[in-house]
């Protein structure tokens, strides 16, 4: 895979969450590699890039990721492992036992290839915590990121993976 | 350029706390990676079992030797090597595996861990160069070559 020299999201790269290669960088590497992604997959990958760059619509991000994973993971396993690791650290499920209940944050496990299966897994995880899910509501959200001054180690992470 | 390290240079390397810290970090990294590789050796399952089980065994055995070499280099610099499982794990900061995982996830996770170790080895190599400690630099270069080769093999396994 071709190496992209500049880290495209260096300003937002937080090591605790980034697992050494942030998602934008992985997507950029895929896009920059001749023949790695073609046709509709390229369009979908660009959509995914836009979604993770904006970090506003977690559900759509997850939906597009699952679609991309079904299409491309066999060919680009390592890239999708990095993307999975990144999403696992950046996404949360907020589960309410009923519409009026306070939300409980549940980690998102990406052992599945469709959003509905991920949603069901999160609801099961909430139930295992002792919640009685009367009329549950679930929203996927991006974990808030500390965008304060970057540490030396954060800079090192991006530099070392460049 | 001289190919040996003068006693004066070794003295400056001994005094360089940055180099000692960097070496201790590579020691912790290597130890933690050895533990992860050993875990993968035990728990890997799937069609690639026989190949991966054997490959992981060779890798953790080589990491065990590397750990000893790095620790002994620290002692040669009259510094102390860090130790203890908790301290090594905390210093390395490598993410632990949530076994069981799919066989390809073990391979991918190990690649990511090797990359972290290589970043720290590169820093130690460069610091050793700054203080003209060629023996330490040579050790770090050797380690980097081994990790690069291992990453190449692991990546090749994932190619489809």
- Determine the residue of chain B that is closest to A162 in CA distance: B119
Chain B neighbors of A72, CB-CB under 8 A: none
Mean pLDDT (chain A) is 81
User: Which stretches of chain B drop beneath a pLDDT of 50?
Assistant: 1
Instruction: Kindly determine whether residue A160 and residue B104, on different chains, have CB atoms separated by under 8 Å.
Output: no
Mean pLDDT of A19-33: 83
pLDDT tens sequence across A68-103: 999 999 999 999 999 998 898 889 999 999 999 999
Among B112, B119, B158, the residue with its CB nearest the CB of A19 is: B112
A14 — pLDDT class (breaks 50, 70, 90): low
pLDDT confidence of residue B5:
58
A156 — pLDDT class (breaks 50, 70, 90): very low
User: Which pTM value belongs to this model?
Assistant: 0.84
Structure tokens at A88: 């696992």
Contact B71, B27 (CB under 8 A): yes
Q: What is the ipTM of this complex?
A: 0.86
- Determine the residue of chain B that is closest to A109 in CA distance: B98
pLDDT confidence of residue A11:
45
- Percent pLDDT > 90 in chain A is 62
Structure tokens at B86: 């908790």
Structure tokens at A77: 């396993």
pLDDT confidence of residue A132:
86
- Determine the residue of chain B that is closest to A77 in CA distance: B158
pLDDT confidence of residue A46:
97
pLDDT confidence of residue A21:
57
* Closest chain B C-alpha to A134 CA, distance in angstroms: 31
Chain A neighbors of B118, CB-CB under 8 A: 160
* Closest chain A C-alpha to B38 CA, distance in angstroms: 21
């Amino acid at each position: 895979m071709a190496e992209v020299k500049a880290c495209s999201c260096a300003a937002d790269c937080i090591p605790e969450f980034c697992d050494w290669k942030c998602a934008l960088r992985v997507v950029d590497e895929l896009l920059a590699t001749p023949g790695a992604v073609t046709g509709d997959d390229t369009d979908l990958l660009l959509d995914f890039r836009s979604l993770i760059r904006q970090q506003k619509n977690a559900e759509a991000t997850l939906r597009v990721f699952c679609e991309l994973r079904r299409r491309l993971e066999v060919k680009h396993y390592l890239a999708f492992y990095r993307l999975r690791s990144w999403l696992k650290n950046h996404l949360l499920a907020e589960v309410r036992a009923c519409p009026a209940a306070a939300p409980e944050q549940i980690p998102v496990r990406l052992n599945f290839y469709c959003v509905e299966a991920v949603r069901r897994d999160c609801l099961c995880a909430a139930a295992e915590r002792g919640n009685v899910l009367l009329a549950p509501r679930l929203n996927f959200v991006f974990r808030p990121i500390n965008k304060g001054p970057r540490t030396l180690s954060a800079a090192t992470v991006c530099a070392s993976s460049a | 350029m001289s190919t040996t390290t003068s006693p004066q240079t070794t003295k400056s390397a001994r005094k360089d706390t940055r180099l000692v810290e960097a070496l201790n970090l590579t020691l912790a990294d290597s130890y933690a990676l050895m533990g992860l590789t050993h875990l993968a050796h035990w728990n890997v399952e799937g069609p690639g079992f026989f190949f991966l089980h054997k490959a992981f065994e060779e890798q953790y055995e080589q990491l065990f030797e590397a750990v000893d070499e790095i620790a002994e280099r620290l002692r040669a610099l009259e510094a102390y090597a860090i130790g203890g499982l908790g301290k090594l794990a905390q210093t390395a900061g490598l993410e632990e595996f949530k076994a069981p995982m799919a066989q390809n996830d073990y391979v991918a996770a190990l690649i990511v861990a090797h990359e972290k170790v290589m970043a720290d080895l590169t820093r130690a190599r460069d610091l050793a160069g700054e203080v003209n400690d060629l023996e330490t630099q040579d050790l770090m270069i050797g380690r980097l070559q081994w990790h690069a080769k291992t990453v190449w093999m692991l990546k090749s396994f994932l190619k489809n």
